[in-house]
């Protein structure tokens, strides 16, 4: 089947590329991409593949286990129809305009059209330098590739838009990384993930063209994006551009609401890490909330400003969208309609967030100031005494609503220090539970429906940071079984999985301060 994959590369067919074919670092002007081949690797080994991502390409498990597969997705072999290239984009990093960035270690292999006529771009991450690699090596290490692979698929199974991960291949080569930028470089095993998405176009693709005042190419890229990924918006004119921008605002709002629902912190929400499709993209120093804390970020590179901490994500998404809006200004000619479209974000975010919270609490809808206070008081409680967000909500879904004797102890599994929960805190939680019970009783949802709604809003299994780290530790020793097991657990995040309870437990104490479990950097 691999040989029969049907490639139809519209991005390179319809958009201008850099005429220069040599692979050296440079500014690429007047082009959306530069052709570049993956760098072959010594001894590739398949670590894992995702059967669900493979099925998007009509590939079977047998295809993915073949020798051809590992060679192709290590970048050692091209299939007929592949036409590899790296794309050109810019972006704001930590709030500052960074100029040209581009795919410094991502190479698109081409676009596959599957049996259903759906189009997917295949992209290798870590397959060697490109014209956009700047001062870096174009490679990726196993630790961050395991994280990207697992989290992409976990996010998909949670029902949150994301780029997908088809494969994870160890290259058999070593890569030097200074994990915490503290003068301690080490050799680490290299790896390559093949990502799959309908499009990898980022806010930064438009931003760079606008910053260079290349209005003609800006328009071409947007018209191309409309044709390929937003065909429902039709005619490319000013009205359509504004409707498109509003649609990106809506999708981004829903995306961040999804993250807030499951306790995901992206970690590096630079504008070059924002997909115009509203997908989660670029899994770097991301993390999952353990003890609820809006100020938490796993990214040590961001420890001072905490720009990208959990609670800031909606505000940052809005800021990033404003930058995309600025990039569209040359096509619209005035700021006012863009600002009006940008309002879509706040409106949609508020509405989606309320729906989401109603789901988490098992209510039909949030209703008025009383419900707002109920939610705010709950989050204040969760933040006050190290309470695991995921376990708390899952436990809340099992709360016997009519049994008023149930107290704070019911939530012991969610407390990081159950022995030290003070009487005060326990009493506040019990008081909150009484309000919650009354609110549920007043809601018209039948109990079964409420429970089902909560079970689908509150995952049992998420990719806890320490679980990912344990899988990485094993993979670095050549044992890939824990990666497979974790991938399998995360395929059914909302289901009870008897025998796999340990994957749903709170972070053990040894992992509290261990690098990789609680601290990550952009070094990957
Ligand atoms: P990130 O922080 O991963 O979103 O990366 C920001 C920019 O740096 C993007 O243009 C990446 O392609 C580039 N980049 C990150 N790591 C590497 C690397 N090891 N080699 C080349 N480029 C990289
Ligand atoms: Mg990036």
The two tokens of residue 393 are 């909500």
Give, for ligand 1, the residue of 25, 102, 104 to mutate: max count of ligand atoms closer than 8 Å to Cβ.
Answer: 104
Do 270 and 385 lie in one domain? The reply is: no
Do 309 and 268 lie in one domain? The reply is: yes
Give me the pLDDT at residue 235, please: 82
Range of the domain at 244: 214-359
Share of the chain above pLDDT 90, in %: 94
Q: Average of pLDDT values for 31-53?
A: 98
Give me the pLDDT at residue 218, please: 98
The answer to whether the beta carbons of residues 286 and 377 sit under 8 Å apart is no
The CA 91 to ligand 1 mean position distance, Å, reads 12
Please report which confidence band the pLDDT of residue 309 belongs to, taking 50, 70 and 90 as the band edges.
Answer: very high
Do 473 and 428 lie in one domain? The reply is: no
Give me the pLDDT at residue 505, please: 97
The two tokens of residue 106 are 């991502």
Q: Average of pLDDT values for 269-293?
A: 98
Please report which confidence band the pLDDT of residue 306 belongs to, taking 50, 70 and 90 as the band edges.
Answer: very high
Decide if 185 is inside a domain.
yes
For ligand 1, whether the C-beta of 522 sits within 6 Å is: yes
Q: What CA–CA distance (Å, rounded) separates 468 from 119? A: 31
pLDDT at 291 over 90: yes
Give me the pLDDT at residue 499, please: 98
Q: Which residue has the tokens 């994006």?
A: 225
pLDDT at 44 over 90: yes
For ligand 1, whether the C-beta of 136 sits within 6 Å is: yes
For ligand 1, whether the C-beta of 161 sits within 6 Å is: no
Q: What CA–CA distance (Å, rounded) separates 149 from 102? A: 21
Q: Average of pLDDT values for 314-343?
A: 98
Give me the pLDDT at residue 204, please: 99
Decide if 519 is inside a domain.
no
pLDDT at 236 over 90: no
The last residue of a domain, from among 305, 332, 359? 359
Q: What CA–CA distance (Å, rounded) separates 323 from 336? A: 14
For ligand 1, whether the C-beta of 105 sits within 6 Å is: yes
Q: Which atom of ligand 1 is nearest to the CA of 273?
A: 4
Please report which confidence band the pLDDT of residue 55 belongs to, taking 50, 70 and 90 as the band edges.
Answer: very high
Give me the pLDDT at residue 420, please: 85
Q: Average of pLDDT values for 194-219?
A: 98
The region, left, alpha or beta by phi > 0 then psi within -120 to 50, assigned to residue 134 is left
Decide if 113 is inside a domain.
yes
For ligand 1, whether the C-beta of 101 sits within 6 Å is: yes
Give me the pLDDT at residue 383, please: 95
In the three-class reduction of DSSP (H, G, I as helix; E, B as strand; rest coil), residue 367 is classed as: coil
CA 327, 330, 335, 336 dihedral sign is negative
Cβ neighbours, 10 Å, residue 438: 13
Backbone angles phi and psi of 444, in degrees to 5: -85, -5
Q: Average of pLDDT values for 372-396?
A: 97
For ligand 1, whether the C-beta of 44 sits within 6 Å is: no
Ligand nearest to the CA of 520: 1
Decide if 521 is inside a domain.
no
Q: Which atom of ligand 1 is nearest to the CA of 139?
A: 19
Residue 127 bridge partners (DSSP) = 139
Please report which confidence band the pLDDT of residue 41 belongs to, taking 50, 70 and 90 as the band edges.
Answer: very high
Ligand nearest to the CA of 90: 1
Do 438 and 340 lie in one domain? The reply is: no
Q: What CA–CA distance (Å, rounded) separates 232 from 228? A: 10
The last residue of a domain, from among 359, 385, 407? 359
pLDDT at 523 over 90: no
Ligand nearest to the CA of 39: 1
Do 245 and 292 lie in one domain? The reply is: yes
Residue 519 bridge partners (DSSP) = 515
> Which has the minimum average pLDDT: 98-107, 174-183, 239-248, 469-478?
174-183
The two tokens of residue 304 are 């001072």
For ligand 1, whether the C-beta of 268 sits within 6 Å is: yes
Q: Average of pLDDT values for 78-96?
A: 98
Give, for ligand 1, the residue of 125, 127, 136, 175 to mutate: max count of ligand atoms closer than 8 Å to Cβ.
Answer: 136
The region, left, alpha or beta by phi > 0 then psi within -120 to 50, assigned to residue 26 is beta
Active-site residue, from 18, 223, 254, 272 = 272
Give me the pLDDT at residue 522, please: 87
Decide if 456 is inside a domain.
no
Q: How many domains in the chain?
A: 4
The CA 130 to ligand 1 mean position distance, Å, reads 11
Decide if 458 is inside a domain.
no
Q: Which residue has the tokens 């328009």?
A: 219
The CA 202 to ligand 2 mean position distance, Å, reads 9
Q: What CA–CA distance (Å, rounded) separates 146 from 485? A: 13
Do 354 and 369 lie in one domain? The reply is: no
Please report which confidence band the pLDDT of residue 321 belongs to, taking 50, 70 and 90 as the band edges.
Answer: very high
Q: Average of pLDDT values for 51-74?
A: 98
Give, for ligand 1, the residue of 24, 27, 94, 105 to mutate: max count of ligand atoms closer than 8 Å to Cβ.
Answer: 105
Q: Which residue has the tokens 């292999």?
A: 109
Decide if 85 is inside a domain.
yes
The CA 91 to ligand 2 mean position distance, Å, reads 9
Do 372 and 484 lie in one domain? The reply is: no
Q: Using one digit for the tens of pLDDT, what is the confidence trace for 161-188? A: 999 999 999 999 999 999 889 999 999 9
pLDDT at 146 over 90: yes
- DSSP labels for 162-225? B-EEEEEEEEEEEEEE-TTSSS--EEEEEEEEEEEES---BHHHHHHHHHTT-HHHHHHHHHHH
The CA 430 to ligand 1 mean position distance, Å, reads 48
The answer to whether the beta carbons of residues 93 and 203 sit under 8 Å apart is no
The two tokens of residue 117 are 């006529």
Q: What CA–CA distance (Å, rounded) separates 36 from 321? A: 30
Q: What CA–CA distance (Å, rounded) separates 524 from 513? A: 19
CA 324, 326, 327, 329 dihedral sign is positive
Mean pLDDT of the chain: 97
Of all protein residues, the one whose alpha carbon is nearest to atom 18 of ligand 1 is: 138
457 to 253, 292, 343: CA distances (angstroms):
17, 17, 27
More confident residue, 498 or 514: 498
The last residue of a domain, from among 313, 333, 359? 359
pTM, rounded to two decimals: 0.97
Q: Which atom of ligand 1 is nearest to the CA of 284?
A: 3
The answer to whether the beta carbons of residues 5 and 120 sit under 8 Å apart is no
The CA 401 to ligand 1 mean position distance, Å, reads 50
Backbone angles phi and psi of 320, in degrees to 5: -65, -40
Give me the pLDDT at residue 419, please: 86
Q: Using one digit for the tens of pLDDT, what is the confidence trace for 405-445? A: 999 999 999 999 988 888 999 999 999 999 999 999 999 89
Respond yes or no: is residue 388 known to be catalytic: no
The two tokens of residue 493 are 């995040």
Do 149 and 228 lie in one domain? The reply is: no
Q: Which residue has the tokens 């295949």?
A: 122
For ligand 1, whether the C-beta of 493 sits within 6 Å is: no
Q: Average of pLDDT values for 30-59?
A: 98
Q: What CA–CA distance (Å, rounded) separates 286 from 519? A: 10
- DSSP labels for 235-286? S-SHHHHHHHHHHHHHHHHHHHHHHHHHTEE-S---GGG-BTT--B---SS-
Q: Average of pLDDT values for 306-320?
A: 98
For ligand 1, whether the C-beta of 273 sits within 6 Å is: yes
pLDDT at 23 over 90: yes
Where would I find the H helices in 362-422?
368-384, 389-396
Q: Average of pLDDT values for 97-120?
A: 98
Give me the pLDDT at residue 444, please: 87
Do 355 and 369 lie in one domain? The reply is: no
Share of the chain above pLDDT 70, in %: 100
Do 155 and 53 lie in one domain? The reply is: yes
Give me the pLDDT at residue 519, please: 86
pLDDT at 234 over 90: no
Do 394 and 344 lie in one domain? The reply is: no
Ligand nearest to the CA of 178: 1
Do 340 and 373 lie in one domain? The reply is: no
Decide if 125 is inside a domain.
yes
């Amino acid at each position: 089947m691999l040989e029969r994959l049907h490639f139809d590369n519209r991005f390179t067919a319809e958009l201008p590329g850099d005429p220069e074919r040599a692979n050296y670092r440079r500014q690429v002007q007047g082009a959306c991409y530069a052709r570049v081949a993956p760098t072959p690797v010594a001894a590739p080994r398949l670590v894992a593949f995702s059967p669900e991502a493979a099925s998007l390409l009509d590939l079977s498990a047998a295809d993915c286990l073949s020798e051809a597969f590992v060679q192709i997705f290590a970048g050692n072999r091209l299939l007929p129809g592949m036409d590899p290239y790296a794309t050109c984009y810019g972006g704001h990093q930590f709030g500052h305009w960074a100029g040209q960035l581009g795919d410094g270690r991502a190479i698109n292999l081409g676009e596959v059209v599957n049996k259903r006529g759906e189009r997917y771009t295949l992209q290798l991450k870590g397959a060697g330098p490109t014209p956009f690699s700047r001062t870096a090596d174009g490679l990726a290490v196993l630790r961050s590739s395991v994280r990207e692979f697992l989290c992409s698929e976990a996010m998909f199974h949670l029902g949150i838009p994301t780029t997908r991960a088809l494969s994870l291949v160890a290259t058999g080569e070593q890569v030097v990384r200074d994990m915490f930028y503290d003068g301690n470089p080490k050799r680490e095993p290299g790896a390559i993930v093949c990502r799959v998405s309908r499009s990898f176009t980022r806010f930064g693709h438009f931003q760079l063209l606008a910053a260079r005042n290349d209005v003609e190419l800006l328009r071409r890229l947007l018209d191309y994006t409309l044709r390929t990924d937003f065909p429902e918006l039709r005619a490319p004119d000013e009205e359509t551009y504004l409707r498109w921008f509003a649609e990106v605002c809506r999708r981004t709002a829903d995306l961040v609401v999804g993250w807030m629902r499951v306790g995901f912190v992206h970690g590096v929400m630079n504008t070059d890490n924002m997909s115009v499709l509203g997908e989660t993209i670029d899994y770097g120093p991301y993390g999952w909330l353990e003890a609820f804390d809006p100020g938490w970020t796993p990214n040590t590179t961001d420890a001072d400003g905490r720009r990208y901490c959990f609670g800031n994500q909606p505000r940052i998404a809005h800021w990033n969208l404003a930058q995309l809006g600025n990039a569209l200004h040359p096509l619209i000619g005035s700021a006012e309609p863009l600002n009006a479209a940008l309002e879509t974000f706040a409106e949609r975010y508020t509405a989606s967030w309320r729906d989401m919270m109603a789901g988490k609490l098992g209510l039909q809808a949030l209703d008025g100031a009383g419900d707002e206070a109920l939610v705010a008081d709950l989050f204040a409680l969760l933040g006050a005494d190290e309470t695991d967000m995921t376990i708390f909500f899952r436990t809340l879904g099992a709360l016997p609503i009519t049994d008023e004797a149930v107290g704070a102890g019911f939530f012991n599994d969610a407390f990081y220090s159950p022995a030290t929960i003070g009487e005060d805190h326990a009493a506040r939680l019990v008081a909150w539970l009484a309000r919650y019970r009354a609110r549920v009783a007043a809601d018209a949802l039948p109990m079964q429906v409420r429970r089902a709604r909560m079970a689908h809003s509150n995952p049992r299994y998420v990719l806890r940071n320490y679980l990912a780290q344990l899988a990485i530790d094993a993979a670095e020793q050549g044992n890939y079984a824990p990666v497979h097991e974790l991938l399998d657990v995360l395929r059914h995040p909302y289901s009870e999985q008897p025998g796999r309870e340990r994957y749903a437990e709170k972070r053990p104490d040894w992992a509290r301060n261990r690098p990789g479990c609680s601290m990550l950097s952009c070094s990957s």
